[in-house]
Structure 1
Amino acid sequence: MRLLKLIWDFRGPAGAQTAVHHEKHLKEFAFAKALTTQITGVEDISELHSIAYLVVQEDEMRPVRDALKPHRGQVYTEN
């Protein structure tokens, strides 16, 4: 099953702290909904742009997307 990375963008001077806070809610959601994967994370793209993300299996994507309204998504590849 393919894994998808749902992404939320946070910009500005407080973007990094907002992304960290948002990740806490993503972890809570993944646990509460018993999602197959419990992968979340935060990445700093630049000084003024950070992202929070949640990785889901492709068959779980639509209900999660509809509930959480991510800004974008991409195929997840482990580094």
Structure 2
Amino acid sequence: QVGRVTITLDSGIRCFTTPCPSGYILASEVRDSGFFDWTVGEDITGSSIPNGSYKVIVTHTYNTYPDSIPDSSDAPFSIVAAQ
């Protein structure tokens, strides 16, 4: 069964403020098909994402065990301005 997922970017920077920023949302409630086309450097609203080191986090939209466990990239990757 294909579910729906939310895809976010997380900088992994420790948060010292309340509320803690949740990262950048790339997609919300998209089909869990194993593929997602993304315009690098933009979030779901088209706003710019600054250069930095990020991990992709995929979370099932409906938080029911065991699907509520998010998955993330194995290692951070960098977003840098085009040259």
| TM-score, normalising length: structure 1 | 0.35
| TM-score, normalising length: structure 2 | 0.34
Say which structure is richer in helix: 1
Task: Select the structure with the greater relative contact order (CA < 8 A; seq sep ≥ 6).
Answer: 1
